[in-house]
Amino acid sequence: MAVSTFTPPYQNAYATNPERKLALYYLVTGLIFLLVGVLIGPLQALNYAGIDVYGYFPFLKSYYQGLSLHGVLNALVFTTYFISGLLIYLPSRELKLRPHLGFAWFTYWLMNFGVTLAAIAILTNTSSVLYTFYAPLQGSPLFYIGAALLIVSSLLVALQTLWMWAGWRDKHKGQLTPIVTYMCVATWCMWILGSAGIVVETVVFLIPWSLGWTSGIDPLLTRTLFWWTGHPIVYFWLLPAYVSWYAFIPKQAGGKMLSEPLTRISFALFLLVSVPVGLHHQYTDPGISTFWKLIQMSLTFAVALPSMITAFSVAASLENAARGQGGKGLVGWVKVLPWKNPSFTAQVLAMVSFIFGGAGGIVNASFDLNHLVHNTAWIPGHFHITVGTATTLSFFGISFWLLPHLTGKPLWNPRLALWSVWTWFVGMMVFAVGMHWEGLLGIPRRAHISSLPAEVYADGARIPMALTGISGMILLVSAVLYYLVLARTLWGKERNLETAPAIPFSEILSSAKPVGIQKFIDDVGLLFWIAAALVLAVYLPTLLEIFNHPNLVPGWKLW
């Protein structure tokens, strides 16, 4: 695989910088899938307001088919495309290297192929297995093959990025990896380790079983493999937003990244402890020892640490930027931040929502409290202010400069973009209040409650239900605004790459030096193997125990 170099600045469109086109395709394809998924969201919100509208949408055979589409497209498909485009493009720019384009395009089309298979499976109502595809629910082989291809394609993007990085390191011995590339490489390595569980689950167990080659499936084994990936996948969604919060937001705010060493340490910590924590999704599963659940609970608290570091660092860089521009007072400095810039505002509102999302995560992770909220509406409340806001709203914010940067077309109507951002934030916050509250009242998650007689669930829950329903409408307005801005931007006639916004790489106040701990953690390969050893140490006893006591059951098709 060849790695070629090129020199900016770039002239016309994509002939001279084809990697822009690649990134653009990944981003826009992801955003199109998100549009479909997002439009189903209001139906879900209305369900949790006790209003059943599924009968008006005959192409959806059930609430569960709608929920499968919503979860798979938004959480798995959109994120993977957007992140693949972003995390190969940024290192390519920073290192001034180009990935092998033939291979890169092959990967993009492989991803499309996989997603098409999975989409056919869900749309034909053969795989309403939700985005966790827990066995013994049995979807069509197309679904599992499609899901596996999606993940494998993302791993191929990871390899291409690592390849570029290795090429750079060969020529720059003794230097530290530039910061943005460091963050991207650490994220990809975390994902390689984290995705191993789901790859084994689909390839070794689900695909053969759905093809009828094996007679039964062990639900506990496949769930455990699923959650091996199911937690790190949330960091795969979050860390690209962190890349932007650390490296671009300071510049967008008129300031600098405060500490490069601290930024690198927090990403190294994510690589080390993001994976061996999946059992915090399985506290209520029988057949797993409490000892290992508690070990993974402790590691979950450890992985909250780099997020706390991030909260501190990013807030400090915002304050620093604001005071540099005359901001005063304990909190008064907040006013001088560039709130008119939709890209900036989207991401800072994403951060604000994540303060609550993160706090809820700590509740979920606490062994005892988890029993109160597990499998209730609280959990979707939690993940709409993490992946639905911290990630998605940050990606919206990034798209406001990145799409103009890639296409040379200016952002259409920044004011409307700002409206889309605020309505998304408000909509998600109201949704979160409604759903957390419903959860505390014991209303289950993933349940077609609006088809039940109201007295079964609605007593005392009228206010949170109303909030949830209203939030769905606010979010619908937001989505319409966002996609209008997106479409008008992409269809704009004016195209000038020379006046297009540059990547907002921030300057650094305190740089890292290639000595001591910084030198050590620059060896991401070594960190990867240490992380892998930790994952095996923490997971193998549980997996072997389940594997040695198989409990095979036949598949269920409930649709």
- Select the span of 376-384, 456-464, 465-473, 551-559 touching ligand HAS (CB under 6 A): 376-384
For residues 507 and 251, what is the distance between their CA atoms, to the nearest angstrom? 7
Q: Out of 296, 307, 320, 450, name the contact with ligand HAS by CB under 6 A.
A: 307
Give the type of residue at 442. G
Closest to 98 measured CA to CA, from 87, 106, 85, 89: 89
> Is 280 considered catalytic here?
no
Q: Which residues contact 48 (CB under 8 A, 6 or more apart)?
A: 377, 434, 435, 438, 443, 449, 450, 465, 468, 469
> Is 384 considered catalytic here?
yes
Cβ contact 41:66 at 8 Å: no
> Is 549 considered catalytic here?
no
DSSP single-letter state for residue 1: -
Residue nearest to ligand HAS according to CB distances in the complex = 358
> Is 488 considered catalytic here?
no
Q: Which residue has the tokens 């300031």?
A: 255
Both tokens of 302, joined, read 């450890």
**Catalytic residue (one of 70, 382, 405, 436):** 382
Q: Which residues contact 526 (CB under 8 A, 6 or more apart)?
A: 520
Q: Is 411 helix (H, G, I), strand (E, B) or coil?
A: coil
- The answer to the question of residue 314 lying near ligand HAS (CB under 6 A) is yes
Buried b (16+ CB within 10 A) or exposed e, 541-550: ebbeebeeee
Nearest distance in Å: CB 84, ligand HAS:
16
Cβ contact 77:150 at 8 Å: yes
Is the previous residue joined to 136 through a cis bond, with omega within 30 degrees of 0? yes
Maximum pairwise Cα distance, the chain: 70
Residue closer to Cu ion by CB (options 223, 264) is 223
Q: Out of 128, 153, 154, 386, name the contact with ligand HAS by CB under 6 A.
A: 386
Nearest distance in Å: CB 301, Cu ion:
12
> Is 383 considered catalytic here?
yes
Q: Which residue has the tokens 């069509």?
A: 140
Residue closer to ligand HAS by CB (options 141, 232) is 232
CA atoms within 13 A on the CB side of 441: 18
Residue closer to Cu ion by CB (options 231, 445) is 231
Footprint (CB under 5 A) of Cu ion, residues 218-237: 231
Phi, psi angles (nearest 5°) of residue 98? -120, 135
Cβ contact 556:136 at 8 Å: yes
- The answer to the question of residue 327 lying near ligand HAS (CB under 6 A) is no
- The answer to the question of residue 302 lying near ligand HAS (CB under 6 A) is no
- Select the span of 287-295, 297-305, 495-503, 512-520 touching ligand HAS (CB under 6 A): 297-305
Nearest distance in Å: CB 279, ligand HAS:
9
Residue closer to ligand HAS by CB (options 334, 336) is 334
Cβ contact 461:443 at 8 Å: yes
352 contacts which partner out of Cu ion, ligand HAS, none, CB within 5 to 8 A by kind? Answer: ligand HAS
Q: State the binding string over 254-283 for ligand HAS (x if CB under 6 A, else -).
A: --------------------------xx--
Q: Out of 17, 263, 370, 399, name the contact with ligand HAS by CB under 6 A.
A: 370
- The answer to the question of residue 251 lying near Cu ion (CB under 5 A) is no
Nearest distance in Å: CB 83, ligand HAS:
11
First to last CA, the chain: 46
Nearest distance in Å: CB 273, ligand HAS:
10
**Residues at the site binding ligand HAS, with contacts judged by CB under 6 A:** 132, 234, 237-238, 280-281, 300, 303-304, 307-308, 310-311, 314-315, 318, 334, 348, 351-352, 354-355, 358, 361-362, 364-365, 370, 374, 379, 382-383, 386-387, 390-391
